[in-house]
């Protein structure tokens, strides 16, 4: 496989880091800017929302621009957004910086996938796309512990400075090692959304949204949860996030293995059930750190174990539109992150962070229902 795919994976990793890297340091941002935790959480919400919406729109608007040139332009805009975050004196300016980073970052991820599929042989195309997407999923998992460690050591602006430096290196890598790639006709947003008329596809995509919404209702506010309910200090919080990140990466591998061995459908149902039991149990484990860590590791592993199984299911359910479904699934994932972080902020403002896990768990129950509906419709249609 073309080694330049790994360069694109690094670019996608850097872009993905920005989304949740602020999650572990929300309390630092809130204190420094004089805002509430719920309001600080909106910095995650707006990023995920813009990320989910902007990608297909910007891709259609720039479909005539040569791909390498467009990637370099997007990296410059992405750098500007993160540098603005570094120097932001107020919440409003930081909010604007997040919007700029999200819009340019969403286009960069799509471009990385597109370029990767163009520079490899057809028989390596699926593998190349998978490697690039590993950069995104890995960054979402590892971005928070990295941001937490840097934030606690050097202040909340430090993670954005690191991302800015990595963006410069990404720009240089693309500039010197990527060749020109002519644009291809893009599929309109209307045609992409039309595939959701298939009920089994719609409910599968809805499952992704609900599952991530339930997850982020607690995960986006895990730092205040740990400090409030368990009294953990910054060092312990960093350890918890590191364990969470490692477990989540392992969970992604386990989910893919189980999907291949037992089938995508039973894996999805099993993961949702275990995940739901874990997140509902979290508030009742805070009396002892070892007990909490065991349940948290299960919660963490299941949080990303569902992704490869759902993607496999979507390919099985609609092989003729599998590329579109992967794109829509990425949007559903980020809509879920946006809604979950927004909902979690509301829960904190209205009743306290100790209730976030329970509220998130109810969305997981609904996700189990939508997954079941999708699969039942598929079987009944096949029998017909």
20-79 tens-digit pLDDT: 788 878 889 999 999 998 899 899 999 989 988 887 788 778 878 898 999 999 999 999
Q: Which domains does the chain have, with CATH numbers?
A: 1-186 (1.20.1250.20), 188-384 (1.20.1250.20)
Alpha helices (H) in the chain, listed in sequence order: 4-20, 26-33, 37-61, 67-87, 91-119, 125-154, 158-177, 189-194, 199-219, 222-229, 234-262, 264-281, 289-317, 322-350, 356-383
Q: How many beta carbons lie within 10 A of that of residue 161, not counting itself? A: 17
227-252 tens-digit pLDDT: 999 998 878 888 898 888 888 878 88
Tokens 């949204």 locate to: 209
92-104 tens-digit pLDDT: 999 999 999 999 9
How far is residue 369's CA from residue 6's CA, in Å, rounded to a whole number? 38
With a CB cutoff of 8 Å and minimum separation 6, the contacts of 268 are 207, 306, 309, 310, 313, 371, 375
Evaluate if residue 377 carries a pLDDT over 70.
no
With a CB cutoff of 8 Å and minimum separation 6, the contacts of 165 are none
**CA distances for 171 relative to 159, 167, 178, 307, angstroms:** 18, 6, 10, 29
Band the pLDDT of 258: cuts 50, 70, 90.
confident
Q: Which residue has the higher pLDDT, 319 or 222?
A: 222
260-302 tens-digit pLDDT: 888 889 999 999 999 999 999 999 999 999 999 999 999 999 9
| pLDDT the model gives residue 77 | 97
Cβ proximity of 127 and 34 under 8 Å: no
| pLDDT the model gives residue 380 | 43
Among 36-50, 57-71, 122-136, 189-203, which stretch is predicted with the lowest mean pLDDT? Answer: 122-136
| pLDDT the model gives residue 68 | 92
CA 10 to chain centre: 16
Evaluate if residue 379 carries a pLDDT over 50.
no
């Amino acid at each position: 496989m073309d080694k330049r795919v790994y360069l694109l994976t690094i670019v996608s990793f850097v872009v993905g880091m920005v989304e949740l890297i602020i999650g572990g340091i929300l309390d630092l941002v809130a204190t420094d800017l004089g805002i509430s935790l719920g309001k600080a959480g909106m910095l995650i919400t707006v990023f995920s929302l813009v990320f989910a919406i902007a990608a297909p729109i910007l891709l259609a608007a720039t479909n005539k621009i040569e791909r390498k040139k467009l990637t370099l332009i997007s990296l410059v805009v992405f750098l500007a957004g993160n540098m603005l975050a570094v120097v932001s004196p107020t919440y409003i300016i930081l909010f604007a910086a997040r919007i700029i980073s999200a819009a340019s970052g969403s286009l960069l991820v799509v471009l990385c996938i597109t370029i990767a599929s163009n520079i490899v042989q057809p028989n390596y195309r699926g593998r190349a796309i998978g490697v690039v997407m590993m950069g995104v999923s890995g960054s979402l998992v590892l971005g928070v512990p990295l941001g937490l460690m840097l934030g606690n050591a050097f202040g909340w602006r430090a993670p954005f400075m690191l991302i800015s430096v990595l963006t410069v290196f990404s720009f240089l890598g693309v500039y010197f090692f990527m060749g020109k790639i002519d644009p291809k006709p893009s599929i309109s947003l209307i045609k992409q959304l039309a595939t959701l008329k298939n009920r089994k596809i719609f409910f599968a995509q809805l499952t992704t949204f609900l599952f991530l919404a339930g997850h982020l209702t607690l995960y986006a506010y895990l730092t205040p949860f740990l400090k409030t309910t368990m009294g953990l200090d910054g060092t312990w919080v960093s350890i918890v996030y590191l364990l969470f990140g490692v477990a989540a990466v392992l969970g992604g591998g386990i989910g893919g293995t189980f999907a291949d061995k037992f089938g995508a459908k039973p894996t999805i149902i099993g993961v949702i059930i275990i995940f739901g039991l874990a997140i509902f149990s979290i508030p009742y484990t805070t009396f002892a750190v070892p007990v909490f860590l065991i349940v948290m590791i299960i919660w963490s592993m299941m949080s990303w174990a569902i992704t490869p199984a759902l993607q496999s299911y979507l390919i099985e359910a609609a092989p003729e539109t599998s590329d579109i479904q992967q794109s829509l699934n990425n949007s559903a994932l980020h809509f879920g992150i946006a809604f979950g972080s927004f909902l979690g902020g509301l829960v904190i403002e209205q009743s306290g962070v100790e209730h976030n896990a329970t509220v998130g768990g109810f969305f997981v129950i609904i996700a189990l229902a939508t997954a079941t509906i999708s699969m039942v419709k598929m079987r009944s249609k096949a029998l017909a």
